């Protein structure tokens, strides 16, 4: 699986500039990040640090 990075701060800022309120922008940014990363922020650490089912 390829590692993907997403700047949630920049994403939320762009959403706020587009008309979303702060809470909506943050929730959408988190949902996008979880979709991109599968809910795992870092996948390239030692196997013993991987969430169960991913090692």
Domain coordinates in residue numbering, the chain:
10-36
Instruction: Of 55, 29, 30, 31, give the one whose Cα is nearest residue 43.
Output: 55
Res 55 pLDDT > 50: no
Q: What is the pTM of this model?
A: 0.59
Q: Who wins on pLDDT, 6 or 7?
A: 7
Residue 45: pLDDT over 70? no
Give 1 or 23, the one with higher predicted confidence. 23
Residue with tokens 């089912």: 53
- Asked if residues 37 and 4 have their Cβ atoms less than 8 Å apart, the reply is yes
């Amino acid at each position: 699986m390829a590692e993907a990075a997403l700047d949630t701060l920049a994403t939320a800022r762009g959403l706020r500039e587009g008309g979303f309120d702060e809470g909506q922008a943050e929730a959408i940014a988190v949902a996008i990040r979880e979709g991109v990363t599968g809910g795992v922020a870092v996948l390239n650490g030692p196997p013993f640090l991987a969430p169960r089912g991913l090692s």
